[in-house]
Each structure stands twice: as C-alpha cells, then as structure tokens.
Amino acid sequence: MCIINHNFEKSFIVRSYEVDQNSSINLPVLCNYFQEAAGLHAQKLQFDIKDLHKKGLTWVLYKMNVEVIKYPKRWEKVTIQTWPSVGDGFKAFRDYKLVDENKNVLALGVSQWIVLDIKKRRAVKLPKSISNFGQQAGSHVLKPAGNLNPPVNGKQKFITTVSSYDLDLNNHPNNVAYIRWLTGYIDDESLSDKICYDFQIQFIAEATKNDTIYVNYSVEYNGDEEIISHSITNSENGNELAIARSKWK
C-alpha cells in the first residue's frame, strides 16, 4: 500500500499499483488497503497494536464483510475512509469506504475486532478508551457479518505451508493471507471472467509457521452468479482456521 497523503484523521489516499491480469486490484489487495488504513488510524488514536502490546493485549480480527461496487484500475487514485463505529462490550467495530476522485463509492466494509489477553489467549472486555470512540459514531455502512457455515461435501486441496513471510505482529498469518488462501485457489474455470463483489469471513483459530494449509469449498449457481462457501484448515483433517462466503459475477 502506497500512502500518498493524509486528508484528515480518518482518510488516506492511495494509488492502485498491485493489480491483476485485468489491471484491477483484487479482493485481498482491497482488504489490505482497509487493514493498513485501520492500523494508521488506530495509531493516531493511540490504540494501535503496539500500544496494546505494552499492556499484554493485542488486536485480533474476528469477522469482516466487504461489498465491492467497482475495483480500482492501475494507478487510479482512491481514498480510504475509516472510523471506529458502534460496537458492544467485547467487539470493536470499524467501518470503511473506498471512494474515487469524484467521490463515487467503490467499496464498503465492516470489520469486527476483539482484544485478546496475550498470555491467557482469551478475549477481554474492551478498554473504555477504545469503546468510547465507537459510541461516538453512527450506524454501519453495511450490516455486520453474522455466523457462517463451512462448506458441505466440498472440494479440498493442499495449497501452501505457512512461511515467515506470512506472519504479522502477533506471530501468526496476516488476516489478508487467509483471504488470499480462501479466494485464490478455487479451481472453477467459470470464475475466470467474474469478480468477487461480496465477501464475508469469520476467523476461528490461529495458524503458526510451518502449518500445512488446506482449502475446502463448494459452489452454488444462481443464474450468472456463483456463491461459494469456503474454509481453510491447518492440516488435512485439522481444525478450521476460517470460514468464508463469497459471491461472484
């Protein structure tokens, strides 16, 4: 992500340079834009992951949903707007908008975060300094993602082994790595001319370095739309690490 300028506290300008064969960014790149903007904003508000680490705590992404109207093209200048939004005692919500230079909305997103006690590996109640920010915001840009179901009788395949390059500040694979694994290894030729315009993910467990990653998925067809249920595990018969549901057209 290339940060060009800060407009104001919750707005960040980027140029789209990580593009696919169609000269557009893809879903993992878009989610990475959202994640980086969230981190920058949290740093300005002084509840960045490093601020939490000093207290023996950390941020963990629990759920996220994204709706795409149009993916930016190569070198297109876009602005990411992000802010803490209404939440509850244990989940911190954050909303996102991606807009072009004419203020047209290109994508929307809502993420749900929990604060984890690093030693106990358990969720804790949000500190007031964090929850108070969310109470000042209005309603969400999208309805937050609910619980998802794993694929039934889906295809399964080995895709990768977790490397050190996948790890983040919590020493487990970055959230965007999960999204890339879930959406980038679907063997369905009919998807070659389709884009993912709706995506929901629920994170369940952590992977660690050298874990073997398997993706599972099943496809439903609704006219020219494909609806995919996905999951990833850390071994062939292992526990699920994340579940997702996506729509392509």
Evaluate whether the domain defined by 3-135 bears CATH number 3.10.129.10: yes
Parse the chain into domains and list their residue ranges.
3-135, 155-248
User: What are the beta bridge partners of residue 66?
Assistant: 109, 199
Alpha carbons 241 and 207: distance in angstroms, whole number: 7
Alpha carbons 75 and 182: distance in angstroms, whole number: 26
Contact 92, 62 (CB under 8 A): no
Can you give the pTM of this predicted structure? 0.88
Contact 60, 113 (CB under 8 A): yes
Q: What is the CATH number of domain 155-248?
A: 3.10.129.10
Q: Is the dihedral of CA 47, 13, 176, 108 positive or negative?
A: positive
pLDDT in single tens digits along all 249 residues of the chain: 443 333 334 677 777 778 887 889 999 999 999 999 988 888 887 777 888 889 888 889 999 999 999 999 999 999 999 988 866 778 889 999 999 999 999 999 999 998 888 888 888 888 777 776 665 556 789 999 999 999 998 899 999 999 999 999 888 999 999 999 999 999 877 787 899 999 999 999 999 999 999 999 999 999 989 999 999 999 877 889 999 999 999
Phi, psi of 171 (to 5 degrees): 65, 30
